[in-house]
């Protein structure tokens, strides 16, 4: 029986590239983003507008729907947390 989830190891670099490209973080190298570094505040410094743009990019990239109540500090705390969040919702086509 195969598990229809994504590989977290491969997902993290993909998320980093998506964050940098979808939020136009010019000059930032996705490889320099730490898996557990905060995405908001003192980390990457993202804000609520960035969060909305990121949700749209994630929905498009992974073919998932993210409800407003799911956009929270826990799921969007770091790349690692975001990877776990995506893993629970993503079903490969």
The whole-number pLDDT of residue 2 equals: 35
Identify the CATH number of the domain in which residue 79 sits. 1.10.1200.10
CA distance 50 to 45: 9
* Residue 3 forms part of a structural domain: no
Q: What is the pLDDT of residues 33-89, one digit of tens each?
A: 999 999 998 889 999 899 999 999 999 999 888 887 777 778 899 999 999 999 888
- Give DSSP secondary structure letters for 44-86: S-B-HHHHHHHHHHHHHHHT----GGG-STTTTSBHHHHHHHH
pLDDT tops 50 at residue 13: yes
* Residue 1 forms part of a structural domain: no
Q: How many domains does the chain have?
A: 1
Q: Which domain holds residue 38?
A: 8-89
The whole-number pLDDT of residue 1 equals: 33
């Amino acid at each position: 029986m195969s598990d229809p989830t994504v590989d977290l190891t491969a997902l993290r670099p993909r998320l980093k590239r998506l964050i940098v490209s979808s939020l136009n973080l010019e000059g930032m190298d996705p490889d320099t983003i730490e898996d557990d570094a905060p995405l908001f505040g003192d980390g990457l410094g993202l804000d609520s507008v960035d969060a909305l743009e990121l949700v749209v990019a994630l929905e498009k990239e992974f073919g998932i729907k993210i409800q407003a109540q799911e956009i929270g500090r826990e799921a969007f705390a770091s790349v690692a947390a975001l990877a776990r969040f995506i893993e629970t919702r993503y079903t490969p086509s």
